[in-house]
Structure 1
Amino acid sequence: MQPDLKDKHVVVTGGAGALGTAVVKLLQDSGASCSVPCYNDDELKSFTFKNNEDAFCQAGIDLTDEEQTQTFYAEAVEQQGSLWASIHIAGGFGMGNIADTPLNDFNKQLQMNTVTCYNACRAAVHWIRESDQGGGRIVNIASRPGIEPRQGKGMTAYTVAKAGVAALTESLAAEVVDENILVNAIAPSIIDTPQNRDSMPDADYTQWPKTGDLAQQIAYLISPVNQVTRGGIIPVYGKS
């Protein structure tokens, strides 16, 4: 079912990636305008919707930097209007058992996943509070290992970083619910993307959740129709 997001402004971090592109397409088809921060020019150049009238895209945004994150959100609101929702897909995956994962690599996972999510949540809450829409929505991206840590064998740093995203979601959801800001997360298993197929050529990717299906789940959670779900870390495993 297509959600009604007419005249809603949504920030999508990681919006130029495989899942992000599916999310932006569905949101724009549903009437929303989208703002997408990109880390570098190459990411922006490959983004399908960069020239759409209802898309504000900007390269050179490091979401691990608090000031850059805050500045992007301020400019997005100036360009696209008051903020209704923010979806935080930006992050990164990393394999490696603990013996092969030095502290620098552990910190990299925390920065890419937990810190980017925290900075985006903080900026989103500020600008949703500044809006005149009586609340808003936030959706984060956790992971299966992040909520089932025993699934994180051989990827401990990534597992801890995504567990941080899950904990942030639950804590923030309780903090802002009285302002009608509903915060949730989805927790995918292995997403069916070209990159994941290339890295696991012998896997049965027919069992993996599809980007379009995940986009539908996210769109529901940020839609005004969602009046009751908050603090949820929703498993979206497909059949895997």
Structure 2
Amino acid sequence: MVRVPHVLVYGGAGALGRSIVSTFKANNWNTSKQKFSDGEFKDFKFDTIICTSGGWAGGNIKDENVIKNTEDMWTSSVQPAVLSSHLASKHLNESGLLALVGAAGVLEPNPDMIGYAIAKNAIHYLILSLAKPSGGLPNGATVIGLLPQTLDTENNRKYMPADQSHTWTPLNDLSNKVFDWSSQTTSRPKSGSLVKIVTNNKKTEYQY
């Protein structure tokens, strides 16, 4: 019997998560969408685990809502990334892929969205740490960060300036790339890579 590979998408109800689930389903992978339940999986192994959970909040350190916004970013982005990584430490195959979503826009200081920047940089630090030999992931597993500039989502179309749309990354482009990296281990970035996703005139490059 041919073994069917299995992907777990944490945050699969969001725009990127739905796109990734659709892509993997179309390519005959078994898909699971979870919040988090370690005990439920017992001895089950995944070939790929992807955390797409997240959010956004603006404001600098003077903002009256800076504490709440930072807490919200921690809850929506950092905690799911840590939980997904913990799950990967127990249930990812040795040749598996763990992908977490960071942000290209916070690689340099960005005081106008301080809570978001703190949260995403925490995820970047997590990725770099997991890639170390003592990081806790299975032998041979790969962890990478997906760092988009702006994704082409319904919300971003609503709130972002339309004249910048040529720089928005199509969801299916990113989903197909993650699928390729899941299916072909030799094509992946090395473990610990923070992959900057840059789109210009609808053409997307993956820089790492």
Whether the 8 Å CA contact 1:176–1:182 is kept in 2: the answer is: no
Deviation at 1:178, TM superposition (A): 6.8
2:40 is matched by which residue type in structure 1?
E
- Structure 1 runs of 4+ aligned residues shifted over 4 Å read none
Identity %, equivalent residues: 22
Task: Answer 1 or 2: which has greater strand percent.
Answer: 2
**What are the Cα deviations for residues 166-220 of structure 1, in whole angstroms up to 9, with x where unaligned?**
1101110122577011101110011111110001254331321110111122223
Whether the 8 Å CA contact 2:102–2:148 is kept in 1: the answer is: yes
Q: CA–CA distance in 2 between the matches of 1:163 and 1:224?
A: 28
Q: CA–CA distance in 2 between the matches of 1:238 and 1:8?
A: 30
Q: CA–CA distance in 2 between the matches of 1:149 and 1:188?
A: 14
Deviation at 1:111, TM superposition (A): 1.9
Q: CA–CA distance in 2 between the matches of 1:105 and 1:204?
A: 26
What is the root-mean-square deviation of aligned Cα atoms in Å?
2.2
Q: CA–CA distance in 1 between the matches of 2:59 and 2:89?
A: 34
1:136 aligned counterpart, secondary structure:
strand
1:188 and 2:151 equivalent?
no
Q: CA–CA distance in 1 between the matches of 2:6 and 2:138?
A: 21
Distance verdict in 2 for CA 1:14–1:114, change over 3 Å: same
2:97 aligned partner? 137
Q: CA–CA distance in 2 between the matches of 1:195 and 1:23?
A: 18
1:83 and 2:46 equivalent?
yes
**What are the Cα deviations for residues 106-152 of structure 1, in whole angstroms up to 9, with x where unaligned?**
12212211111011110121112xxxx54321000000123x233x3
1:236 aligned partner? 197
1:115 aligned counterpart, secondary structure:
helix
2:90 aligned partner? 126
Q: CA–CA distance in 2 between the matches of 1:220 and 1:191?
A: 19
Q: TM-score, normalised by structure 1?
A: 0.73
5+ long unaligned stretches in structure 1: 1-5, 38-60, 62-68
Deviation at 1:76, TM superposition (A): 5.1
1:45 aligned partner? none
Q: CA–CA distance in 1 between the matches of 2:161 and 2:189?
A: 40
Q: TM-score, normalised by structure 2?
A: 0.84
2:169 is matched by which residue type in structure 1?
P
Deviation at 1:33, TM superposition (A): 0.8
2:58 aligned partner? 95
2:14 aligned partner? 17
2:176 aligned partner? 216
For this pair of structures, how many residues does the alignment match? 195
Task: Answer 1 or 2: which has greater helix percent.
Answer: 1
5+ long unaligned stretches in structure 2: 202-208
Q: CA–CA distance in 2 between the matches of 1:106 and 1:16?
A: 22
Whether the 8 Å CA contact 1:12–1:86 is kept in 2: the answer is: yes
Deviation at 1:82, TM superposition (A): 2.5
Deviation at 1:77, TM superposition (A): 6.4
Candidates 106, 117, 130, aligned match of 1:172: 130
